[in-house]
Chains A and B, each alone.
Chain A
Amino acid sequence: MTGGGALTFFNPHEAATVEAMAARIIPGTPDDPGAREAEVIVYIDRALAGAYRDLQPLYRRGVQELDAEARSRFGRPFAELDEPEQDRMLGELLEVTAPTLDTPGVDEGTALLPYFAAVVHQHTVEGMFGDPVYGGNRGAVGWKLIGFPGARWGYSAEQMRYGFDSRRLEVVTLEDLRRDRGTGRG
């Protein structure tokens, strides 16, 4: 489910639910990794235990309400729905754009689910395309998907030509950079 990653905030059911959402936002297979294969759930779990701890209540209630909605429509919690059912629910929620710039109090149940979906979407994108040091983008699969070579020190004139294939470049992470450059030598 969550690769080798232990959890620092989610309980297993919450992790399974959020991971199921992430896996529909950026679907994948072992040959063509998506959010699940990138271990986006590890990114979100670590973030909620630390930098985003103020969002813990949103995730707790969000998973509960998502499950309640899934049960009332399909008779099962979200993580147990089949993919078309999950897509239908997510698609409807992500279409609601009204609350995206506002923070509803997490007590206001009405707008919570679309807001929750938008936040999970944002965090999935962060976990897919942020540096692997934060727990997601495992093996830099998010960067390889889109041809982004990562935390490179710079680019040459040859590499900055129109039409240059960036997939020819080695992907560099912050860990690589610290090993190679973080010694004070510059």
Chain B
Amino acid sequence: MPSDYDMVIVGLGPAGSVMAREMARAGLRVLALEKGPAYTAEDFTLKHDEIRYHVRLQLSPDVVQDPITWRPRATERARVLPWAVGPLHLGPLFLPPTTGVGGGSIHWAAWAWRQREADFRMRSAIVERFGEAAVEGTTLVDWPITYQDLEPYYELAEQEIGVSGRAGNIDGQLQEGGNPFEAPRKRDYPMPPLRPGAADELFVKACRKLGLHPFPAPAAINSVEYRGRSACTYCGFCRDYPCHVGAKATTTTSLIPEALATGNLEIRPLSRVFRVDRDGQGRAVGVSYYDLVSRRERAVRAEWVVLAAYALENARLLLLSGVDGNGHVGRHYMTHNYGWFTAILPEATNPFMGPAVAASVVDDFTSELVRDQEGVVWGTPIIGFTGDVQPIEAVHGMPADVPRFGQRFKDWLRENYRRLYSMYSQTPTFPRPEFFCDLDPEVKDPFGQPALRLTHDWVEHDLKGVQGAARIKHRIAREMGALEVWEAPYAPPYHISTHELGTHRMGDDPRSSVVDRFGRCHQCPNLLAIGGGMFPTYGSYNPTLTIFALAFWAADHLRAELKLGSAVTSG
């Protein structure tokens, strides 16, 4: 039977958008199926609404339509994410990212990190310093590729989506004011850093006094007009919100229109894929999906199938399609343990102005640079968080010793809301055999497909990592003149964080990984599974720029194989 398309892509978030544009530009006929709506810029002009986006989660998948279940250990029965159910849920940060064209690039806070060189050889880096015992009980590995392999694709991603920042290391030359610990880059960021939030100058001074090396966080938000897209207005409704002026790197304003302009991309929104269809030889021949308006089942045939539906949904689709010959799909689950730390400063910080990412960071203790933290073998950046704190979220983040009602509650908010300042850290979990995703034997989605079941709990290293970082935050806050500080619990109540990874690990050995270094399934070579699921291990940075870069890398390889030219070598 002839194919309807050369390629069908499932999901139009960062990874899917890159693949769509690259292959459409190369001349393939591409169909993209997206579970959510086809958002355009006009959907977001009036987005300054905490009820809509933070409280009522209008961009997030909901647990009725897209149930995910969780249990702390394999001996227990799983239930639908308890922290996401009901009116007291923890907010959009603790669900999978946005559905809809643009995916996670709509709501993301836009920290745009390149991984460190050591993040690509995490197992070796830990063993060399702390010995084999430090990786016992984990399935840590080194990546099949190095930072140098990915460097041109990081650069491509930074240029294509637009990243603001200050280089710290260009070809080995340290740059004043940048991150002295960053991996060497060939080019500076395409834009200068964003204007920092009000309290950032205090953070910078405090860190310097403590001998640390603050630098502006790399942000996929325009600090100046870039490729026809406006500069940031600093509205402060950024993380968890869509951008109203197209300043944030959301693929609906860049990659998607560019892909559509080729005439080779067709997007079918509100189309929920439930299976990769395969022939008798096991090759992918297309996908089956539900049209969410008619609720009818449909099928489409294509030469290539690309799953780019997020680490969790990719795992579910692989399992539902029987592409799990070696049992590694859903294994090696990883996420971040955010260490939230909040302070009250003497004067107004106005934490509702500007994006959270418009702040400085110190990398002095990140990943392999960890030190002076007993029992911690992999460190985290300490990240200033100066904006995007809306009133309702601020109430949720109040210290435990303030009454939740009455005059003192009211007065606390009156006096302190405008003086809040936060820092946070990201301790990555290590992949472990006892933590994984599989199909829930009982809970099904409204279409009768099994829900994804997550088995995960926090282990000692996850908590010690936050605790160690907290000691540094305390020192910085004291130096900043903080009047009061408090921390979130080291063992958080959530087990997904929008930073899920590792569920279809890449590797050169088909026995111990799901996809190869270019995202192609070992078991089914015309099926790709791309995105965060490919990560073999997790550093302590936000993953999205690496997801973009890996997608450019995978697309480039496929173009080369199909003799369609390279985006990197041909410019």
Where the two chains meet, the residues of B that have a C-beta atom closer than 8 Å to any C-beta of A are 42, 45-46, 48-51, 55-56, 82-83, 85-88, 90, 195, 197-199, 201-202, 232-237, 244-245, 347-350, 352-354, 390-392, 395, 403-407, 409-410, 413-414, 417-418, 493
Contacts and interface: CB of A to CB of B under 8 A. Distances in A.
Contacts of B354: 155, 160
Interface in A1-50: 24-28, 34
A133 B90 CA distance: 23
Interface in A150-186: 150-157, 159-166, 174, 177-178, 181-182, 184, 186
Nearest to A178: B46
7 contacts: A55-B87, A125-B392, A129-B391, A145-B410, A145-B413, A155-B354, A159-B350
Contacts of B391: 129, 142-143, 146, 148
A34 B406 CA distance: 10
Given A103-B85, A165-B348, A131 B406 contact: no
A131 B353 CA distance: 17
Contacts of B234: 154-156, 160
B205 to A, nearest CB: 11
Nearest to B405: A25
Contact of B201 (A51, A119, A162): A162
A27 B407 contact: yes
A102 interface: yes
Interface in A110-165: 118-119, 121-123, 125-126, 129-131, 133-134, 142-143, 145-157, 159-165
Contacts of B233: 153-155
A162 B406 contact: no
B395 A152 contact: no
Contact of A148 (B49, B88, B417): B417
Given A146-B391, A151-B49, A166-B418, A102 B348 contact: no
Contacts of B198: 160-164
A162 B405 contact: no
B246 to A, nearest CB: 9
Given A27-B410, A155-B235, A146 B418 contact: yes
A27 B392 contact: no
Contact of A121 (B46, B51, B85, B404): B404
A151 B82 contact: no
B238 to A, nearest CB: 11
A162 B199 contact: yes
Contacts of B244: 153
Interface of A: 24-28, 34, 51-52, 55, 87, 90-91, 94, 100-103, 118-119, 121-123, 125-126, 129-131, 133-134, 142-143, 145-157, 159-166, 174, 177-178, 181-182, 184, 186
A177 B88 contact: no
Nearest to B417: A146
A177 B46 contact: yes
Contacts of A157: 195
A118 B406 CA distance: 14
Among B237, B405, B407, which residue has the most Cβ atoms of chain A within 10 A?
B405
A160 B350 contact: yes
B253 to A, nearest CB: 13
A149 B85 CA distance: 31
Contacts of A150: 48
Nearest to A125: B395
Given A27-B410, A162-B199, A181-B46, 18 more contacts: A25-B405, A25-B409, A26-B410, A91-B406, A101-B83, A101-B88, A101-B90, A102-B85, A119-B88, A122-B88, A123-B87, A125-B392, A126-B392, A155-B236, A160-B354, A166-B353, A181-B45, A182-B46
A174 B46 contact: yes
Contacts of A155: 233-236, 350, 353-354
B350 A129 contact: no
A134 B50 CA distance: 11
A119 B87 contact: yes
Contact of B352 (A101, A131, A148): A148
Contacts of A55: 87
A119 to B, nearest CB: 5
Contacts of B50: 129-131
B49 A131 contact: yes
A148 B406 CA distance: 20
Contacts of A149: 352
Given A160-B198, A181-B45, A122 B87 contact: yes
B87 A131 contact: no
B51 A131 contact: yes
Contacts of B349: 162
Contacts of B390: 129, 148
A151 B391 CA distance: 12
B296 to A, nearest CB: 27
A173 B158 CA distance: 35
Nearest to A102: B82
B406 to A, nearest CB: 6
A186 B414 contact: no
Contacts of A164: 198, 348, 350
Contacts of A102: 82, 85-86
A174 B405 contact: no
A24 B413 contact: no
A161 B198 CA distance: 5
A159 B353 contact: yes
A160 B353 contact: yes
Nearest to B231: A154
Nearest to B246: A186
